[in-house]
A and B are shown apart, each in its own frame.
Chain A
Amino acid sequence: MSEAPARRRLDPRLYQIGALAGLLAWGLLARRLDVTPGRAALLLAAALGAQYAATRIWRLPSFEPKSALISGLSLCLLLRTNSDAVAFGAAASAISSKFLLRWKGKHLFNPTNFGIVAAMLATGRVWVSPAQWGNAAFFGFLLACAGILVVHRAARSDVTFAFLAVYLGLLFARSTWLGEPAAIPLHRLQNGALLLFAFFMISDPRTTPDSRGGRILFGSLVAVGAAWIQFRLFRTNGLLWSLALFSLAVPLIDRILPGRRYAWAGNTTGPMPAKGVFDETLDPPRLLPGLLRSQPAGPPVLRVLRGEGGRPTL
């Protein structure tokens, strides 16, 4: 990469990679997570390999490992299976979903979410242990997760806040209705999986709606859906199912409440990414050469983003 523009903001993905890697190391060493170093290596290799393959297939300007690394690390933290083949498949499908399941130049699912949900549906040999973190080191965990808010400078934290506010509200309201002591909803909140989900998964700026109103709506819907699955249907992994389900509604939310598309490495009105930092979200002609040539090009900001620098023309 060439020299970055002065005072360019830290890429939130770097923070996320650091935080996830730290949590994984802590989980392996102190929490006896059900994941071996070998399995972690397999998941990371599969995610990066799939990203590399996609880079070649779709002739992207350069290999961009950060997102794939985040997906791989998240899978290490969440996905559990006895089968290496299933683990590999989940990681590969997580990354592939970014390139295959798209709507108007935007991928539909958070890759980790898609990888886990797809593997659960397709194989039945995958599970997630939502309580694996325990609640002993909750505040340390919270701190590590909340760090992302600082890095994002709250740019896309609205979805996290909306989700947490609605979800907490539902938890406490239900407990109050049932006459349960406050210890019960508090115990449910002190959950590492919930934090990972709220700060790193649902907040994925690439799959959330473009407008602030849309994101708040989206976060609230996911919270209601998760609570419904957990407390009305009595199924596990309500968070993951709900996010996957409502991700399908994002195109609709974007239509009703349109807004500006997000790009990594700073916000879209700030300085542009350095050379080589590109947006994976390609317009259709680029995505499937020849097949969709007659389609109109994507929004102008995306084409500028693929350039070598300069300012967006919006």
Chain B
Amino acid sequence: MAKGDARLFNRASQVVLVRDGDRTVLTMANDYRGDPKEFAVVVPVPTFLEREQIHVGERTVVEHLDAYSAPRLVEYFDPDPCMRVAMEMKVAAQDAAKPASAASRRERSLGVTVEARYTVGEYDILILSARESAGLETWLRENGYRIPDGASRVLGGYLKQKMRFFVAKVNLEEQARLGFSYLRPIQVAYESPKFMLPIRLGMANADGPQELFVYALTRRGRVETTNYRTVRLPADQDVPAYVKEDFGNFYKALFAEQVRRERMQTVFLEYAWDMGWCDPCAADPLSREELKTLGVFWLDEAPEAGRGGSNVFVTRLHVRYDEAHFPEDLVFQETADRQNFQGRYIIRHPFTGTIACGVGERYREEVRQRQEQEARNLATLTGWPLDPIRVKLKLPPPGGEKKWWERIWGGR
């Protein structure tokens, strides 16, 4: 069984958005592997945050959510064409994250107010507000945060909307005391009608497109962006069996090709499912305890009357973005859509045993036609050139098929 690399996408961020009504629990995961001294996050948040609204979560839960919702490969084995039965296996692809970096010092100046200062887990956290963006930019610089040029314009917009800045860096003593060798995800809970994700600040210092995974956990149904088109990743297609050998690479190429086709203007839906189950499962659904640690606060309430399933619906959105194509922050809405969707790809292994009945020739012809179609699907999905795929599948070149008249009289 093949498995995708856990670090398929470079410079990717993973965010879990738990949302119901105006309440949001945001989990920011990262796979930052550099010097913890260099690590920092600066995130605009809609409200002031009390100490109890901030929590440090477990990375494994986000990894589990990633695995559960990742695109998957299902395998079917052709039965003896004389006798039809099927079998199933699955393989999952996974992905990963990475954030910004910096360091800090000094108290107040330039109209910047440190509204609160907390140490939570291995993080030192500041909640900042400021009168004007230039002051904030200078403050962040003087305190060792590498704020890109031109960030003050972006900061200013958030400040005027009375947003606060959540600034976190690693407290090395606490980290050593707690004994974690990696950085755990930071979680914040707040109440605000704004159902959005600020991406503009991160784009200011990006040297190329960035990758973002949003896992939304909601009560009613699928989440989509209201200011960018959300489209389903093409799925449920037959692909050649060798895709299994490197499913991670297939997923990466598939995503890149779809981004290209949509001219990097869309958000992709990769998974939308009732958290109660999956079919086929790339990983088991998350347990109640795991959902609770992610902040699903309505678990103890009964599901809406007259509707089956659990009361948690998961949406996995995947977006590759840059400033030219995604000028504004992502704004979301929860829809009432409970239709299940998954990025599912299918491989069908031909029967390799001896075919004892008279259908052998017809079966082999069927398989050949099927493989031709699989090769075409793979080329369309990933943008890979068709000919090498055909060579790999040992398919006869396009011109090498029997002419129609050859098939009439069995010419050879």
**Nearest-neighbor residue (CB-CB) of A232 within chain B:** B193
Question: From residue 53 to 91 of chain B, which have CB atoms closer than 8 A to chain A?
Answer: none
Question: How many residues does chain A have at the interface if contact means C-beta atoms less than 8 Å apart?
Answer: 31
A–B Cβ pairs within 8 angstroms, 5 of them? A131-B227, A131-B230, A134-B262, A134-B266, A236-B333
**Nearest-neighbor residue (CB-CB) of B133 within chain A:** A179
Say whether A82 faces chain B, with CB atoms less than 8 Å apart.
yes
Residues from chain A with Cβ under 8 Å of B327 in the complex: 181, 183-184, 186-187
Residues of chain B having any CB pair with chain A under 8 Å: 133, 153, 156-157, 160-161, 192-196, 220, 224-232, 262-263, 265-266, 327-328, 331, 333, 335-339
Say whether A260 faces chain B, with CB atoms less than 8 Å apart.
no
Question: From residue 162 to 205 of chain A, which have CB atoms closer than 8 A to chain B?
Answer: 177-181, 183-184, 186-188
* A129/B335 in contact, CB under 8 A: yes
Question: From residue 65 to 118 of chain A, which have CB atoms closer than 8 A to chain B?
Answer: 80-82
Residues from chain A with Cβ under 8 Å of B263 in the complex: 136
Roughly how many angstroms separate A133 CA and B229 CA in the complex, as a whole number? 7
**Nearest-neighbor residue (CB-CB) of B267 within chain A:** A131
**Nearest-neighbor residue (CB-CB) of A181 within chain B:** B327
* A80/B231 in contact, CB under 8 A: no
Residues from chain A with Cβ under 8 Å of B231 in the complex: 32
* A130/B226 in contact, CB under 8 A: yes
Say whether A127 faces chain B, with CB atoms less than 8 Å apart.
yes
Contact of A234 among B194, B228, B335, B338 (CB under 8 A): B194
- Majority SS at the chain B contact face: loop
Roughly how many angstroms separate A82 CA and B153 CA in the complex, as a whole number? 42
Whether A124 touches B193, Cβ cut-off 8 Å, given contacts A32-B232, A178-B161, A236-B226, is: no
* B336/A124 in contact, CB under 8 A: yes
**Nearest-neighbor residue (CB-CB) of B338 within chain A:** A82
* B265/A80 in contact, CB under 8 A: no
Residues of chain A having any CB pair with chain B under 8 Å: 32, 34, 80-82, 124-127, 129-136, 177-181, 183-184, 186-188, 233-236
Contact of B156 among A129, A179, A183 (CB under 8 A): A179
* B225/A131 in contact, CB under 8 A: yes
Known: A127-B335, A183-B327. 20 other contacts (CB 8 A): A32-B232, A82-B338, A129-B226, A129-B335, A130-B226, A131-B226, A131-B227, A133-B229, A134-B229, A134-B262, A179-B133, A179-B160, A183-B328, A187-B327, A188-B227, A234-B192, A234-B196, A235-B193, A236-B226, A236-B331
